[in-house]
Amino acid sequence: MPANDRLLVLLRHGQSEWNLKNLFTGWRDVDLTPAGVEEAKEAGRRLKAHGITFDLAFTSALIRAQHTLDLTLAELGQTGLPESRDQALNERDYGDLVGLNKDDARKKWGEEQVHKWRRSYDVEPPGGESLKDTVARALPYYCQHILPAVLGGKRVLVAAHGNSLRALVMVLDRLTPETIPSMELATGVPLVYRLKPDSTVASKEILTA
């Protein structure tokens, strides 16, 4: 793959223990389920099948993203790849909702309110972060660390979380606060971007099964 490929791959971690239990997770440090481990390995196999390798990786301060990264790179035969970990890429902090079952939360506060907390752009759950807040920490980190590496010719993998990656996809795909709520990211499915020299998107491919 040529050095000027400007490759950026975003990968949401595999299913976590609290995804399985339908709990709000946020910054709580839970690991992958066996299914999540397999999703991370499968992401590596899909990338390998497309001939994609990396020079550099970024991940969050949370184990489910780090474990996903390790398993994916192992499938690519790239263990030991230089990586940076930062809580700027952590999942949204769900505040008082952390540890609550999502169905129980809907019964307590109503379907509409919980949907606003989970998917709207600027409505924050009690004691937690909105997506807007997550963008405010993830985007500067992207601009200062990830994007310069990509534009400099490095092939970059970012293993992170549904909302920290939605913050980046919002910018890459030019989504708005009105269109971002409907955007979902599947666990363990690589999003392959190739960028133009001006940092806009030349192409995007979703590596589904």
Residues with a catalytic annotation lie at 13, 91
d(CA 209, CA 196): 27
At residue 43, what are phi and psi to the nearest 5 degrees? -60, -45
Contact call for residues 82 and 57 (beta carbons, < 8 A): yes
Edge-to-edge strands, sheet with 201-206: 83-85, 56-59, 156-160, 7-12, 191-195, 201-206
Contact call for residues 177 and 30 (beta carbons, < 8 A): no
172 bridge partner residues = none
**Which residue spans within 120-175 are E strands per DSSP?**
156-160
Strand 156-160 and strand 7-12: the pairing is: parallel
Give the H/E segment covering residue 194: strand 191-195
Beta-carbon neighbour count of residue 154 at 10 Å?
18
Q: Compute CA 109 distance to the chain's CA centroid, rounded to the nearest angstrom.
A: 27
16 bridge partner residues = 32
